Amino acid sequence: MECIFCKILSGDTPANIIYKDEKVIAFDDIFPKSPVHKLIIPKKHIATLNDVTEYDSDLISHMLFVAKTLAAKYEIAESGYRIVINCNPDGGQVVYHLHLHLMGGKTLNCKAH
């Protein structure tokens, strides 16, 4: 198993896990680019957004729901935040297990990540 996020899911690689349910987990980004920088990932290994099918639409909307819930929990809902999904090399994707970045806690510049 080469996927670093699958290793976090299995517990083989440590991470500061802040949320867990039957479909997703969320944890702190190891190299935060903002004061709040969380990653929300599906338990199911999906490499990129390109690999999402119509059967995953509930999962994707659930990831967004978890993101907005965590934004409130980490007190950036009112000040504002950014949700980012990078896809493939030109999109800046480095880890090929679908993930949503939740970033906030400062005024973010135009660059997404």
- Least distance in angstroms from the C-beta of 67 to Zn ion: 19
In one-letter notation, the amino acid at residue 46 is I
Contact 27, 9 (CB under 8 A): no
Q: Which of 37, 38, 97, 101 binds Zn ion (CB under 5 A)?
A: 97
Site string for Zn ion, 31-70 (x = CB under 5 A): --------------x-------------------------
- Least distance in angstroms from the C-beta of 10 to ligand 5GP: 13
Chain position carrying tokens 């699958």:
6
- Least distance in angstroms from the C-beta of 86 to ligand 5GP: 4
Q: Within 13 Å, how many C-alpha atoms sit on residue 14's CB side?
A: 1
- Measured between alpha carbons, how far is 17 from 50 in angstroms, rounded to an integer? 26
Residue 99 designated active-site: yes
Q: Which two tokens stand for residue 2?
A: 């080469």
String of DSSP letters for 14-34: ---EEEE-SSEEEEE-SS-SS
Residues that bind ligand 5GP (CB under 6 A): 4, 13, 15, 27-31, 39, 86, 92-95
Catalytic residue positions, numbered: 99
Residues that bind Zn ion (CB under 5 A): 3, 5-6, 45, 97
